[in-house]
Structure 1
Amino acid sequence: MLATISRAATRRPLTVILVWLLMLLVGFGLGTGVFGRLVDSVPDVPGTESDRAAAYLDRVDTSGESITAVISGTKVSDPALRSQVGRAVADLRTVTGVASVPDPYTTRGLTAGDGRALVIPVTLQGDMKFKDEKKAVDTAADRIRRIDAPEVHVSGGPLLGQQMGGRAQEDVQRAELISLPVVLALLLVVFGGLRAAGLPLLIAVSGVAGAFLALFLFSQVTDISVYAIQITTMLGLGLAVDYALLMVVRFREERRHTDDVLDAVHRTVAGAGRTVLFSGLTVAVSLSGLLVFPSPFLRSMGLAVAAVVVVDMLAAVTLLPALLARFGARIAPAKGKGKGKAVTGSGDAAAAPENALSKGSAEEGRVFARLARFASRRPLAVLAVLVPALLVVALPAAGMRIGIGDARQLPADTEARQMYDALEAHFPPGTGVSPVTVLVRPGAGPDTVPRIRALSDTSDARALPDGSTLVHLRPGGSVDGTAATDLVERVRDVRGNEPVEVTGVAARLVDFRSMLAERAPWAAATVLLGIFALLFAFTGSVLIPLRTILTTLLSLGAALGAVVWVFQDGHLAGLLGADGLGSLSLTAPPLIIAIAFGLAMDYELFILARMRETWLRTGDEHDAVVTGLRRSGRVVSCAALLLAIVFGAFMTGGFSPILQIGLGLTLAVLIDATVVRMLLVPATMALLGKRAWWAPAALRRAHDRFGVSEEAPEPRPQLTGV
């Protein structure tokens, strides 16, 4: 299959390049239209109690969402300010789409006890179209901001979603501006030439453009989360650089053995292209677990990342061969041995060129060979030190809590965060926190509403047109804190068999957590079985997939534990411009787990390819481990470093969910590519010995017959005594 693809790409390289150029233009033209279709309703889970109650209220409740303004920094009793606020309130009441605006001077609770702040809540009409609601919000916010006061901040409701989305996009642009030049500079060091270094970035840009186009098409039929752009940009750039790095390094190695550029391209695709194919499949399978969850957010993220993986993979095995066929003669071959018989091994992690990746074939990967020999000779000692260390770092993950979050997720210079801080400074705790909303339907007992209202010190109730009663219970603490979620659970406990439903932010979080607990085992089973099958198809072993999964879980647990320690517990969070929030954003853990697991498989395949090649050629399990790491270690290290830079650049922003994902993925990549792949892999392979390559006879025959290979199957060493 890959041979056919490479021949087609090299036969008409200009056609292939033009097709991808057209896709590039369409992707950054039409595809960027997805930015206007993104949603921020992360915790929504169709079919849950909170979702059903919210949908019912949308139909029967005439009131809509609301935005909030806080005026502070001066005495609110000042006559000039009071006059301005009065005129602003009168103007707001005339805005189309605004249902009500109370006078903060005559409404209890809207003026701060210290006399230096007041709140102006603006309630919108219900059942408005999106563009009408947005126009009403923007008009009301602009009018409030014209009030002449030291501090005027407007946020909340749909405006908070707009501000978070805008900040997220700013962080993406900043990260791209930082990471792309750094990646290019490092690629120049790696390859020693601009032409070779530019190819990975060209593949990366093509991948991101294709992903934008795919997301735009997905947005026509399903909701796409605002976080999808960040993730596709991070992963699209990182994977494209990984794949192109692997392919170009292998091409330079092949060029060292032949003057025929096309032959070198075909051999590159037949070798390294297979690893790219399997890598793309493993990353896609790792993220397929997100599709098991009914949450539109998680599913949209799964679709988004699957799209970027497929596009990057296609670009690596079609566009890159076409570019190499057209311009590869200008790329210097790797230095080392002279021309000779072309390399035909089935391994995929390329032998590295001179400069950053090699110092000649005689010294190639000497450091990594030493690491492999060290770990192989002392496997128990390596495991005894590293496994407990990784478990200790992973320990905080056992106490992980997830939350929806509030304006504290934004940096201090954003308007939503400044409004939140003003409320915290001048008003009692809990002011402005979204209430727990309880829908008491007709037919409930006469004591139902009083029993529910008794659960909170602050509550109100009003009748709806259909005869239902809407009760608002205001919890202490944050919108998704323990007090709020416990209040949701207490309402559900005391309602008995009465027709009562709970919704609101805290209720959505409770339902989201329940959904995760229910579906997580199925998602894990889907991913692990898929990964096991792919690794078996790649290696022909049943023990290597098990060993790979276990060692990968160690690095993943350590990365997640560090994220919890920083962002949930607050240790060193200030160094990243964030706060300890007491929980992680519910967007972070599922994405860190899914993406990091897929990327770990990426590096595992780079190493296993060379190990398997040596094992099939020599039957020496020790030589397979040492040679495999020697031949692949530099490529894995360079790829991990480049990917860590891409992920690390996303920690230069200030939006906490993106910071959490950036830190988690950066640590996962670095830990996996160093501690796990360079030490734990050779140690565990040494302990397994020849058993590492074992499979039951029936599975071995099946692999020999159906295993993916571009070449005739090589003789397999027969294992005895295992």
Structure 2
Amino acid sequence: MYELGRFAVRRRRWVLAVAVVVTVVAAAVGSGALSALSLSRYEVPGTDSLRAADVLEREFGTGNPNITLLVSARGSVDDPAVAAEGRRLTDELRKSTAEATSYWDDRSPALRSEDGAQALVLGRVPGSATEARAAIAELSQRFTVRNDVVSVGVGGQDEVFRQVGAQAARDFLRAELIVVPAVLLLLVLLYRRVSMALTTIGIGLFAMVATLAGLRGLTYFTEVSTFAANVTLVMGLALGVDYCLFVIARYREELAGGADVATAVERAVGTAGRTVLFSGLTVAASLAMLLLFPFPFLRSFAYAGVLVVALSVVGALTILPAVLASLKPHPARERTNGFWARTADAVMKRPLWTGGVALVGLLLVAAPVLGLRFGLPDDRILPADASSRVVQDQIRSGFGQEQTDAIRVVGAGVHDAADFARRLDDVPGIVQVDHRTTDYGTLWTAIPSQEALAGDVPGLVRQVRELEPDHLVGGYPAELADFRDALTDRLPLVVALILGVTFVLLFLMTGSILLPLKATALNLLSLAVMFGVVVWGFQDGNLAHVLGFTAIGTVEPSIPILMFCIAYGLSMDYEVFMVSRISEEYHRTGDERTAVTTGLQRSAPLITAAAAILSLSFAAYATGSVVILQMLGVGMAVAVLVDATVVRAVLVPSLMRWRAARTGGHRRSCAGCTRGSGCRRAR
């Protein structure tokens, strides 16, 4: 790392020239990334529900309807003028889609509201999510009409998630417009130099545009979801700022100690740079575990996360040192007995009392996590005034059953179709069963009640599958149930691997067994607090009036998994930085209490500043209108702030002091030892 710092100083003009060229090329390539990314559905390759979808398309020429026209009549949907208009709308939709059906085709009670004032037209637009939603965008505009006979609203699953994507894109853009100038202002106040603030922002932007270019390249080899761009925007600036803060602070500290610019840069990269490298490895390792999930959109989180972390590290360890070597030196004022040192000293005077109070407080905030319930997403992740949400709300309240969410059962060969239809009809929650037979076999369509769809949908699907295990069960409820099951089945493995890999990385950095164990326990405590707030605020709805969303009593599982990976990596990030500074001081003085107070004084201001900027970046997304983004913003902001303040400033020094008291207090390294924290005798 010292050699890398020396290289960046000596070849700074060459490094900066290459950085400019790479950034320009990456911006050009990355500008086309968004159009090359794909939209995603909640589908799991290889599951029964997707095999059923293939059979439905190939053998029966049908599939899940993904666009719904809600036709509201001035009187009754059975009035001649309304019926004529309904048939006209059905014929027009049929010409633009693979298939369409409506109440006026066969008078199905599932397609007529209970008061007779509304009816449904269902259509199926074929193709991938990207293709279907592009077509539905045009259809939605064309069929949203109002005349003297009827008014028509457009909903359906793909229309809902098309609007989710569009609203999320607007929310991300608005958040970035808030975050970038706010972060720049905070950096100017922190550094008291505009040039360093702009450099830090520049490193973040470099990581973002280079990641987008990398994602564009990946699209030639695999499917990359549009969610990857969102992760890039969320993490690029935040990590760039995080890592630059660590390096710049150490550089200014070395200047204050009398080093010249070249030496200060080399030492900053050799010390803080090593911390940045290990921190980046832990964050990247956490996010890489998302590759174990069989979902393109979660794997896309991993692609973007690993790329943006790697490029943030590259920027902080090569471009930043070259810039620092080119700027006029501006040392920081050294403080060894500031607020954080006094805090650590006060905590260590009464480690059990202060640590115990902090622990109890955090556990109380985390307690709601015990009631965490994963559920299935629907239109209610949109704001209440979104057009597709309005349509789905009216269907939910006005129709006793919902044919768009029908469970479809496919059996090959000869069957007693009527007998199986009766058995399906006996399943609690199924209110209507239709069937038809072809040369291939029989297709049964089981329509659930609204109450069943609001309850245990995976349980309902499981009951249907148990009737005849040889049959394929599909439909939107089955696809969502398979998605949730696949997600939760892989979750223990992913969590275990994240804990194991980050434990090994921290052990390699510190040479200690206890420090990684302590770090793992504290990181999990921070995550418990984050999920406690998520459950209390979003699942239970206590933040609903503040943020303007609808609580449904469950949490969509994919976003908390992403939050776990990011938050765990960032928590380890702060742990690595603090422990490395404490280890340095311990190697220098041999006194554990002095090492903790001095190390905390030198690391805590940076960790707090980085956490404030990071939490601001995340909190900006809570101003959006899509519930999953609000949950991501609030949860991550809470996790970062709690970890950087209560955990690092109170629990870390209290635990280290308590351990020192248990093991006999002060220990000194051998005279002349250069191994630092890697020396077993010193430990």
> Aligned partners of 2:659 and 2:362: how far apart in 1?
21
Aligned to 1:708: none
Q: Are 1:174 and 2:174 matched, yes or no?
A: yes
Secondary structure, counterpart of 1:474 in structure 2:
strand
Are the structure 2 counterparts of residues 433 and 689 from structure 1 closer, same or farther at C-alpha, using a change threshold of 3 Å? farther
> CA offsets, 1:558-603, max 9 Å, x none?
1101101111111122211212121111222111111100000111
Q: Decide whether the 8 Å contact of 2:526 with 2:639 is kept in 1.
A: yes
Aligned to 1:54: 53
> Aligned partners of 1:534 and 1:164: how far apart in 2?
38
> CA offsets, 1:31-59, max 9 Å, x none?
24332344443532222332333333343
Are the structure 2 counterparts of residues 392 and 436 from structure 1 closer, same or farther at C-alpha, using a change threshold of 3 Å? farther
Aligned to 1:484: 457
Greater mean deviation of Cα atoms: 63-72 or 191-200: 63-72
> Aligned partners of 1:378 and 1:120: how far apart in 2?
70
Q: Are 1:460 and 2:433 matched, yes or no?
A: yes
Aligned to 1:348: none
Q: Which amino acid is the alignment partner of residue 142 of structure 2?
A: R
Q: Are 1:642 and 2:613 matched, yes or no?
A: yes
Are the structure 2 counterparts of residues 18 and 82 from structure 1 closer, same or farther at C-alpha, using a change threshold of 3 Å? farther
Aligned positions of 1:211-250 closer than 5 A: 211-250=211-250
> Aligned partners of 1:414 and 1:621: how far apart in 2?
58
Q: Which amino acid is the alignment partner of residue 53 of structure 1?
A: A
> Aligned partners of 2:516 and 2:319: how far apart in 1?
31
> CA offsets, 1:495-516, max 9 Å, x none?
2xx5212223332333334334
Deviation at 1:103, TM superposition (A): 5.9
> Aligned partners of 2:285 and 2:664: how far apart in 1?
23
Secondary structure, counterpart of 2:448 in structure 1:
coil
> Aligned partners of 1:715 and 1:545: how far apart in 2?
13
Q: Which amino acid is the alignment partner of residue 332 of structure 1?
A: H
Are the structure 2 counterparts of residues 715 and 203 from structure 1 closer, same or farther at C-alpha, using a change threshold of 3 Å? closer
Q: Which amino acid is the alignment partner of residue 193 of structure 2?
A: G
> Identity across aligned pairs (percent)?
35
Deviation at 1:115, TM superposition (A): 5.2
> Aligned partners of 1:616 and 1:135: how far apart in 2?
61
More helix by share: 2
Q: Are 1:393 and 2:392 matched, yes or no?
A: no
Picking from 368, 373, 395, the partner of 2:340 is 368
Secondary structure, counterpart of 2:95 in structure 1:
coil
Aligned to 1:332: 330
Q: Which amino acid is the alignment partner of residue 642 of structure 1?
A: I
Are the structure 2 counterparts of residues 468 and 13 from structure 1 closer, same or farther at C-alpha, using a change threshold of 3 Å? farther
Structure 1 residue runs of 5 or longer lacking an equivalent are 337-360, 695-699, 701-710
Are the structure 2 counterparts of residues 151 and 678 from structure 1 closer, same or farther at C-alpha, using a change threshold of 3 Å? farther
Q: Decide whether the 8 Å contact of 2:160 with 2:389 is kept in 1.
A: no
Q: Decide whether the 8 Å contact of 1:252 with 1:332 is kept in 2.
A: yes
> Aligned partners of 1:614 and 1:292: how far apart in 2?
40
Deviation at 1:422, TM superposition (A): 2.7
Q: Are 1:475 and 2:456 matched, yes or no?
A: no
Secondary structure, counterpart of 1:368 in structure 2:
helix
> Aligned partners of 1:484 and 1:640: how far apart in 2?
40
Q: Decide whether the 8 Å contact of 2:225 with 2:300 is kept in 1.
A: yes
Aligned to 2:311: 311
Aligned to 2:24: 25
Q: Decide whether the 8 Å contact of 2:3 with 2:266 is kept in 1.
A: no
Q: Which amino acid is the alignment partner of residue 48 of structure 1?
A: T
Q: Which amino acid is the alignment partner of residue 243 of structure 1?
A: Y
Aligned to 1:685: 656
> Aligned partners of 1:399 and 1:451: how far apart in 2?
35
Q: Decide whether the 8 Å contact of 1:640 with 1:669 is kept in 2.
A: yes
Q: Are 1:552 and 2:523 matched, yes or no?
A: yes
> Aligned partners of 2:9 and 2:154: how far apart in 1?
57
Deviation at 1:656, TM superposition (A): 1.0
Deviation at 1:163, TM superposition (A): 1.6
Q: Are 1:384 and 2:356 matched, yes or no?
A: yes
Q: Decide whether the 8 Å contact of 1:369 with 1:629 is kept in 2.
A: yes
Are the structure 2 counterparts of residues 32 and 477 from structure 1 closer, same or farther at C-alpha, using a change threshold of 3 Å? farther
Aligned to 2:644: 673
TM, length-normalised to structure 1: 0.86
Aligned to 1:421: 393
> Aligned partners of 2:408 and 2:567: how far apart in 1?
37
Q: Decide whether the 8 Å contact of 2:156 with 2:404 is kept in 1.
A: no
> CA offsets, 1:406-425, max 9 Å, x none?
11101123222122223234
Q: Decide whether the 8 Å contact of 1:282 with 1:534 is kept in 2.
A: yes
Deviation at 1:191, TM superposition (A): 1.0
Q: Which amino acid is the alignment partner of residue 520 of structure 2?
A: I
Aligned to 2:675: 713
> CA offsets, 1:450-497, max 9 Å, x none?
3233315423333364522222222234786434222111122332xx
> Aligned partners of 2:404 and 2:102: how far apart in 1?
18
Structure 2 residue runs of 5 or longer lacking an equivalent are none
Deviation at 1:270, TM superposition (A): 1.1
Secondary structure, counterpart of 1:531 in structure 2:
helix
Are the structure 2 counterparts of residues 385 and 444 from structure 1 closer, same or farther at C-alpha, using a change threshold of 3 Å? farther
> Aligned partners of 1:189 and 1:714: how far apart in 2?
35
Q: Are 1:605 and 2:576 matched, yes or no?
A: yes
> Aligned partners of 1:365 and 1:489: how far apart in 2?
63
TM, length-normalised to structure 2: 0.90
Aligned to 1:44: 43
> CA offsets, 1:321-377, max 9 Å, x none?
122223x22x5222x3xxxxxxxxxxxxxxxxxxxxxxxx3x456211122122212
Q: Decide whether the 8 Å contact of 1:462 with 1:469 is kept in 2.
A: yes
Aligned to 1:347: none
Picking from 379, 387, 402, the partner of 2:374 is 402
> CA offsets, 1:299-334, max 9 Å, x none?
2222221111111111111111122223x22x5222
Are the structure 2 counterparts of residues 267 and 511 from structure 1 closer, same or farther at C-alpha, using a change threshold of 3 Å? same
Q: Are 1:137 and 2:136 matched, yes or no?
A: yes
Deviation at 1:718, TM superposition (A): 6.6
Deviation at 1:223, TM superposition (A): 2.6
Q: Which amino acid is the alignment partner of residue 636 of structure 2?
A: L
> Aligned partners of 2:82 and 2:663: how far apart in 1?
77
Are the structure 2 counterparts of residues 39 and 80 from structure 1 closer, same or farther at C-alpha, using a change threshold of 3 Å? same
What RMSD over aligned residues (CA atoms) do the two structures have, in Å? 3.1
Greater mean deviation of Cα atoms: 603-612 or 637-646: 603-612
Are the structure 2 counterparts of residues 297 and 313 from structure 1 closer, same or farther at C-alpha, using a change threshold of 3 Å? same
> Aligned partners of 2:439 and 2:501: how far apart in 1?
50
